[in-house]
């Protein structure tokens, strides 16, 4: 059993791939063996998480996820704990394996209660075994009531395979209305402190609402090897450190030009430029779109300011759109036609979304094999895809891949569990970052970091993965009690003062 952290890369498997793994395992193992292994894994983790617990409430649904919970109850009972089970199954319709586990739990002397505990304080640990990966409907009736009880308990909650009410593929709430931007509240799904993913890791645990619902994710492969099966996505691990050779010079590490900063928004371009500089770019140029803007930044004399019309793009990596406002529309045709590696962010993306001619230029650029990375947040992605932000969030992996295929480029769909996609690539989900990044300017910082990674010579998809991971990791390491601001984030986390 492994504790999933941000340090190591992990393969992720969607529902269809996991079902295939289950079928393969069932053909190799004796009947009921897979459920017994799953229940034992749940019981072991429960014991590790709450070694001194006495009362353990296990909410078991009518299917095989509930069967896993019943099996866990058998082991906890034998180990001297006091589990009691609320089972929502029907002996006339429940799966065969779940019924076998029900019989084993009864034989072991496990206590059953028709409803959840009346006194939530009597539980030292709660186990959510209500719904598994195959569920598609929102929690209703008794399922919803038990989910509310689990969420109201003072005891920690361990979810079996995934929190009930969460889509294993997408991290969206089951039954979410894509026409509405309103996310369901805690009653719509179980919000667990721990989740034990069995047999495979699921993408939905790490993006959209998955990180909030799942808590700390654990993984047990149930002693089955699925290495040969292609994964549906990848959870990023820590990038390999790249050495800077002593016999180097500033040209070795690439040059970045940041183009943006319309009137009243020059700060965005300066944040991106500062991030590129602190991320290792050899030289950073700034071409501000505000004609009356500063010609130098005395706080950052390392940045070299240039007039856009006189700036030679040859040999540069371009970062365009940060604080660009409406002014960026006029310069985008020249930028999109240039062969230089390009990061398109913020207002540049909005301009492309609103002008078919710019879309044509962007598609043509990708078809010529020119390196381009788009960095939309969900609303910008929705504008590019002609849909709603809720629809983007309903399936973030699919939305990112659609953008990548449509514009023939790499895409970073920002948000909780940022998704990195590219044509012909298995998409990646970033495990780093936290809500402290929800402040103005942090997206501009990411654009600058990505520009620096591209300028260093990394391929677009690899550069995007590295920049997104490091950007989130800075926030994860941020000193407790110290406010996270974009300007300090741009300086590679060197905090205030």
- Residue of 419, 319, 440, 433 lying closest to 372 (CA atoms): 319
Provide the pLDDT for residue 180. 56
Q: What DSSP letter does each residue of 125-146 carry, written as one string?
A: EEEEES--TT--SPP-HHHHHH
Hey, is 215 helix, strand or coil? coil
Beta bridge partners of 259: 287, 320
pLDDT tens-place string over residues 53-64: 999 999 999 999
Provide the pLDDT for residue 188. 73
**For 22, phi and psi rounded to 5 degrees?**
-65, -40
Provide the pLDDT for residue 409. 98
Kindly state the tokens that stand for 254. 């690439």
Provide the pLDDT for residue 339. 97
Helix (H) or strand (E) holding 325: none
Kindly state the tokens that stand for 20. 């295939």
CATH fold label, 2-234: Rossmann fold (3.40.50)
Q: Domain map of the chain by residue range?
A: 2-234, 250-490
Contacts of 497 (CB under 8 A, 6+ apart): none
Place of tokens 């059993």: 1
Provide the pLDDT for residue 252. 65
Within 10 Å of residue 48's Cβ, how many Cβ atoms?
Answer: 11
Kindly state the tokens that stand for 308. 């856009």
Per-residue pLDDT of the chain (497 residues; tens, 9 = 90+): 999 999 999 999 999 999 999 999 988 899 999 999 999 999 999 999 999 999 999 999 999 999 999 999 999 999 999 999 999 999 999 999 999 999 999 999 999 998 766 665 678 999 999 999 988 889 999 999 999 999 999 999 999 999 999 999 999 999 876 655 444 454 579 999 999 999 999 999 999 999 999 999 999 999 998 777 899 999 999 998 877 767 676 676 799 999 999 999 999 999 999 999 999 999 999 999 998 888 888 788 899 999 999 999 999 999 999 999 999 999 999 999 999 999 999 999 999 999 999 999 999 999 999 999 999 999 999 999 999 999 999 999 999 999 999 999 999 999 999 999 999 999 999 999 999 999 999 999 999 999 999 999 999 999 999 999 999 999 999 998 899 999 999 998 544 33
Provide the pLDDT for residue 178. 64
CATH fold label, 250-490: 3.40.1190
CA 228 to chain centre: 24
Provide the pLDDT for residue 187. 54
Provide the pLDDT for residue 72. 98
Place of tokens 């979810």: 159
């Amino acid at each position: 059993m492994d504790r999933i952290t941000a340090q190591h890369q992990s393969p992720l498997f969607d529902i269809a791939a996991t079902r295939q793994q289950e079928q393969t395992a069932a053909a190799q193992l004796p009947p009921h063996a897979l459920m017994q292994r799953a229940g034992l894994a749940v019981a072991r983790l429960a014991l590790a998480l709450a070694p001194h617990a006495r009362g353990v409430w296990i909410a078991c649904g009518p299917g095989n996820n509930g069967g896993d919970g019943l099996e866990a109850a058998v082991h906890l009972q034998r180990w001297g704990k006091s589990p009691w089970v609320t089972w929502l199954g029907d002996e006339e319709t429940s799966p065969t394996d779940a019924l076998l586990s029900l019989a084993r739990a009864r034989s072991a002397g496990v206590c059953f209660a028709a409803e959840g505990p009346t006194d939530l304080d009597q539980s030292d640990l709660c186990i959510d075994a209500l719904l598994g990966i195959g569920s598609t409907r929102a929690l209703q009736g008794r399922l919803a009531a038990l989910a509310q009880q689990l969420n109201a308990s003072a005891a920690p909650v361990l979810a079996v395979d995934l929190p009930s009410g969460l889509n294993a593929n997408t991290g969206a709430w089951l039954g979410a209305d894509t026409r509405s931007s309103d996310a369901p509240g805690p009653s719509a799904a179980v919000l667990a402190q721990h989740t034990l993913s069995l047999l495979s890791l699921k993408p939905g645990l790490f993006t959209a609402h998955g990180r909030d619902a799942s808590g700390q994710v654990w993984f047990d492969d149930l002693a089955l090897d699925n290495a040969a099966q292609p994964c549906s996505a990848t959870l990023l691990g820590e990038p390999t450190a790249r050495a800077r050779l002593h016999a180097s010079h500033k040209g070795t590490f690439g040059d970045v030009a940041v183009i943006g900063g319309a009137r009243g928004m020059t700060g965005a371009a300066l944040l991106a430029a500062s991030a590129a500089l602190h991320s290792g770019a050899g030289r950073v140029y700034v071409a501000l779109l505000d004609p009356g803007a500063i010609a130098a930044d005395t706080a950052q004399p390392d940045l070299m300011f240039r007039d856009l019309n006189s700036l030679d793009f040859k040999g540069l990596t371009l970062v365009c759109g940060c604080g660009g406002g409406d002014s960026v529309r006029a310069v985008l045709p020249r930028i999109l036609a240039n062969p230089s590696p390009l990061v398109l962010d913020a207002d540049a993306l909005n301009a492309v979304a609103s002008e078919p001619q710019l879309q044509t230029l962007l598609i043509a650029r990708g078809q010529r094999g020119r390196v381009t990375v788009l960095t939309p947040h969900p609303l910008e992605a929705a504008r590019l895809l002609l849909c709603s932000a809720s629809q983007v969030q309903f399936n973030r992996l699919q939305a990112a891949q659609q953008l990548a295929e449509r514009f023939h480029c790499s895409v970073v769909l920002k948000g909780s569990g940022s998704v990195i996609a590219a044509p012909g690539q298995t998409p990646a989900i970033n495990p780093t970052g936290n809500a402290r990044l929800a402040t103005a300017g942090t997206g501009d910082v990411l654009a600058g970091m990505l520009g620096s990674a591209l300028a260093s010579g990394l391929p677009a998809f690899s550069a995007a993965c590295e920049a997104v991971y490091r950007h989130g990791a800075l926030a994860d390491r941020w000193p407790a009690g110290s406010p996270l601001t974009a300007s300090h984030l741009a300086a590679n986390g060197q905090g205030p003062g």
